[in-house]
Amino acid sequence: MARTNIEWTDAVWNPVAGCSIVSPGCTNCYAMQMASRLAAMGSRKYAGLTRKSGGRAKWTGKIRCNKKSLSVPLKWKKPRRIFVNSMSDLFHPDVPVNFIADIWAIMAATPQHIYQILTKRPERMTEVLFYTYPPAFPFLLNVWLGTSIENSETLCRTKALRKCSGARHFISFEPLLGPVADADLSGIDWVIVGGESGLNARPMEAAWARDLRDKCAQAGIPFFFKQWGKHIPEGQQKGLLDGVLHHDFPLQPVGE
Ligand code: SF4
């Protein structure tokens, strides 16, 4: 199994590798640094996807689709939550529609798993899922669709996300870089919040996380507080928001 430290999933599945920066939330992209390390260790899957600039790894913009990885979830008999493409963005403009259709077919063939697709490009997700002809993207009960939002400038992504039909809609506010008290959470089934980790991590203020916690409580939306990241505000504890562990999931047991 492709193990992961990401608390809100059980496994990662990476049929696509490589990406390019789209907004400020990407600046310290974990996948970009990890792809560079894996390439340095000799992994052909990640070779040439990053270059060094100012001593740090940067995406080259090259995307690699890995046909061999497609069959991986077929071998996982035990039901699990699977994060699709932790090392890329499935709806990057250079991921071919045909390859996304292949991924869709695998998800349809493995209803025992729940697939969590998270994109910073929900506009392309809408285009691909709705306007591809012949239609290749049926609604799947085991596919959750999500978008990442880092600040008020990226809140518009929720609008595009709502247009797509997923079994569940979720938003990952990670890394949260500014207040998003105006977030419209209507039609959203799950909210994840997290701060940034790593060398140049930017701090998340407790008030920003509290705003989202309170909005979710009011609307009855499951709230998952992942972590503070590198900077833990005074009076807060690792992994807890105001002393409370929030690890809620939408109601859909794995394997149902
Ligand atoms: S979209 Fe995701 S994978 Fe791509 S650069 Fe941004 S954070 Fe990294």
Q: Which domains does the chain have, with CATH numbers?
A: 11-16+78-227 (3.80.30)
With a pLDDT cut of 70, the percent of the chain lying above it is: 97
CA–CA separation, 115 vs 90, rounded Å?
Answer: 12
Q: Is the pLDDT of residue 4 over 90?
A: no
CA-to-CA separations, 243 to 117, 123, 196, 236, 238, in angstroms, rounded: 30, 37, 19, 7, 9
Burial class (CB in 10 A: 0-12, 13-18, 19+), 195: buried
Q: Where on the phi/psi map is residue 16: left (φ > 0), alpha (ψ -120 to 50), or beta?
A: beta
Contact 150, 22 (CB under 8 A): no
Give the single-character DSSP code of 18: B
How would residue 131 be classed by pLDDT, with cut points 50, 70 and 90? confident
Give residue 251's pLDDT.
85
Q: CA nearest 162: which of 180, 138, 189?
A: 189
Output b/e per residue, 52-79; b: 16+ Cβ within 10 A. eeeeebbbeeebbbeeebbebbeebeeb
Q: Is the pLDDT of residue 1 over 80?
A: no
Question: Of 79-83, 134-138, 160-164, 221-225, which gets the smallest average pLDDT?
Answer: 134-138
Best residue among 6, 16, 20, 22 to mutate for probing ligand 1's pocket (most ligand atoms within 8 Å of CB) is: 22
Closest ligand 1 atom to Cα of 87: 3
Give residue 143's pLDDT.
97
pTM for the predicted model, two decimal places:
0.95
User: Which amino acids bring their CB within 6 angstroms of ligand 1?
Assistant: 19, 21-22, 26, 29, 31-32, 88-89, 120
CA–CA separation, 47 vs 91, rounded Å?
Answer: 21
Closest ligand 1 atom to Cα of 19: 4
Q: CA nearest 119: which of 82, 144, 153, 151?
A: 144
Give residue 206's pLDDT.
98
Alpha carbon dihedral 220, 177, 34, 71, in 10-degree steps, equals 30
Q: What is the CA radius of gyration of the chain?
A: 18
Q: Is the pLDDT of residue 252 over 80?
A: no
